[in-house]
Structure 1
């Protein structure tokens, strides 16, 4: 049985801090010798295979941990981003493939418009 789509508006505001608090706990225990963004990059590469079905207003879509997706803006330009999940809560990191740059991780809610989500496509 497929799970019901989670409305991104239903995530509590403090949910964006869960991974930050987890990283801080590891740092206090001297278990992580790296900064927050490097730790998130490592988590992205080693994270469990997981997927979540989300809903933003009327658009229903699926994101997968460890995958790269793209959306297209009003101007038609594509925006690539990596996805990692923390108990169904998505974090994204935009990519600039032309310059081989991955930008810092941000919490998903509020990052994309409905129109952009309608163009969502998994790249790899």
Structure 2
């Protein structure tokens, strides 16, 4: 499910790297939530920032500090049968930081998790009128 308003501002970013971030967050949501879970991508802008929120209604965050999830070689479930080495969220944080932004994980009520990506708004890139009409 997506909720991306039509007036969401353009942000300057490396599309390939941002695709990697989103792919990792969506892959984690698919791996760590039951098959009937809802995954939602939402965008909004506030002040000098654009926010992208990736949420699910799965089991939520593991006990402890959510910031630990962003450390290299840290996984949410110890001794899990789910494939991975724990580099994904650390890489996401590095990519977002390189764009001048931040990423955090917050529990949802009654269960689930929201990953919040904040990216700074700068002067939007010029859009050629031919591109808009394409």
TM-score w.r.t. the length of structure 1 is: 0.28
Higher strand proportion (structure 1 or 2): 1
**Rg larger in structure:** 2
Asked which structure has the greater RCO (Cα within 8 Å, sep 6+), the reply is 2
